[in-house]
Amino acid sequence: MLGFVGYAIASAVGIALAERWSLGLGDRVAILVVPPAVFLAVVTGIRVRTGSERIVFYETALPAIVGAIATSWLVGGSVARVLDATTLGIGTFLVFGRLGCFAVACCHGQPARLGVIYGARHVDAGLPAYLAGRPLWPTQLVEAAASLALVIAAFVLSDATAGGAALVYIVGYAAIRFVLELVRGDPARSYWLGASEAQWIAIATAAACAAWRPSVATIAVALALAASALVLVARRGRSRWIQPPHLCELAGARALSLADGRRHATSLGVSISCAPLPDGRDDWILTSTSPDWSPDQARALAKSLWIDYEILPGRMAGTIHVITPCTDDR
């Protein structure tokens, strides 16, 4: 429902901008028809390739923008203005899209002291079970609010220079998305050299904008994102343990260990097993032979997997005990 509402309002924004700039029929088709057509084509292609529906903002937005620009160029239209209108339309659609994400618990955040709490029906919709009942960063609401603010700012500046509105939104969104990725908790995301796919794309789009319209602002954002990525690359040896895909994998190993009483390991070599203690608590034993493994790493994992826990070093090297209240499913 929110998707359809978002498309309707985004189309109204596109029509308003087309009227404001007196764009021709070809440009209006590029703004109103091409982006949703490309969106549906990309989503359908992903569904055919993977067997499941997966909607990723950058994977759909960038082809839609390229398609609109190409259409405008082919009809001899105002390419820069079509870029502006298409970008602001997509930004408007994202506001409602992220509200939809918030409703169904996709694109959720990591555990936090305060935040949104999801329950069993969200687990049925795809939320990892270990995150149910825990406060999570409301990343969807933050991104929706940020996208709305960027659209408004870009709209106010839209008459200054053709292409300027798109520049404001794309560079601003790149910076916001890069930061939000640090607290995103959904596991269905790719990482390379310690940074997520979206973070690398954010850097690439910011760099492209700086090359297209070099200024203090665009260059500063591009350099800041590149420097931040270098920090993530330098810390990748330690951060890989607490990235959402590994946390979800470890939570699955934890569930298996609870079910069969055996030790299970993740792809990063972290093994987990559980033994009940005489006082009724559970002793979760985490082990790893990695040189990066330490009590601090185990504490970071425990913080994501359990609400109440105590960390104790084991007698054997690489062994950490996580003492928790008795698991309800035992």
* pLDDT for res 113: 85
Token pair belonging to 69? 């620009």
Helical (H) or strand (E) element with 115: strand 111-117
Q: Which residue blocks in the chain are alpha helix, DSSP H?
A: 2-20, 25-32, 34-50, 57-74, 79-104, 120-124, 139-156, 164-180, 197-212, 216-234, 236-239, 244-260, 295-305
Q: How would you class 267 by CB atoms within 10 Å of its CB: exposed for 0-12, middle for 13-18, buried for 19 or more? A: exposed
Q: What is the full per-residue pLDDT of the chain (330 aa) written as tens digits?
A: 888 899 999 999 999 999 888 889 999 999 999 999 999 898 888 888 877 777 788 888 999 999 999 999 999 999 999 999 999 999 999 999 999 999 988 888 988 888 899 988 888 888 888 888 889 999 999 999 999 999 999 988 877 788 899 999 999 999 999 999 999 988 877 888 889 999 999 999 999 999 999 999 999 999 999 999 999 998 887 788 888 888 888 888 888 888 888 888 888 888 888 888 888 888 888 888 777 777 788 888 888 888 888 888 777 777 888 888 876 554
CA 218/CA 216 separation, integer angstroms: 6
Count Cβ atoms within 10 A of the Cβ of residue 76 and give its class: 0-12 exposed, 13-18 middle, 19 or more buried: exposed
What is the four-CA torsion angle of 4, 6, 7, 11, rounded to 10 degrees? 140
Amino acid at position 112, single letter = A
| Per-residue confidence (pLDDT) for residue 328, from 0 to 100 | 53
- Bridge partners, residue 2, by sequence: none
Q: Is 136 left (phi over 0), alpha (psi -120 to 50) or beta?
A: beta
Spatial distance between the Cα atoms of 153 and 311, rounded to a whole number of angstroms: 48
Cβ(108)–Cβ(187) under 8 Å? no
Contact (Cβ atoms closer than 8 angstroms) between residue 30 and residue 80: no
Q: Are 242 and 300 in contact (CB under 8 A)?
A: yes
* Joined tokens for residue 141: 């609401």
Q: How far apart are the first and last CA of the chain?
A: 40
Domain ranges of the chain: 2-177, 263-324
**What is the C-alpha separation between 6 and 8, in angstroms, rounded?**
5
DSSP result, 204-225: HHHHHHHHHS--HHHHHHHHHH
